[in-house]
Amino acid sequence: MPNERPILLVEDNPDDEALTLHAFSRNRITNPVVVVHDGVEAVDYLFGTGAFAGRDLGVMPAVVLLDLKLPRIDGLEVLRRIRADARTTLLPVVVLTTSREALDLQQAYNLGANSYIRKPVDFDRFQEVVALLGRYWLSLNETV
């Protein structure tokens, strides 16, 4: 059942985290959401290391929502590691960031991001974008 696969939200900004979770709830996206707050936690979750040692690696996220400007390991390095490992190379990754740098956009796609979305500043627009992302990626995973 698709709603059993988690969404991995990699977000260090508590306000953006709360807005994303609220948008999922408001739009009835019922998948569990795993929230990590930096790149090290994201890598640990995906590969079952560190605080996530022993996690069932047979259950991968339906989609990773990845911020770029993260502490410890930045989002581009997280994406690089996701694409370099056979277990996660096909995992859908949506970069969801405030970065307006053209180089970040280019590097994200070069590293294999499935989508690159700039976070809207307006709350209603942000909520709409997150809801669309959730529904779109989860619908693609229904047959997986």
Per-residue pLDDT of the chain in tens (144 residues, 90 and over written 9): 445 889 999 999 998 899 889 888 888 888 899 999 999 999 999 999 999 999 999 999 999 999 999 999 999 999 999 999 999 999 999 998 888 899 999 999 999 999 898 876 677 777 777 777 766 666 655 544
Category of 95 on φ-ψ map: left (φ > 0), alpha (ψ -120 to 50) or beta: beta
C-beta separation of 66 from 119 below 8 A: no
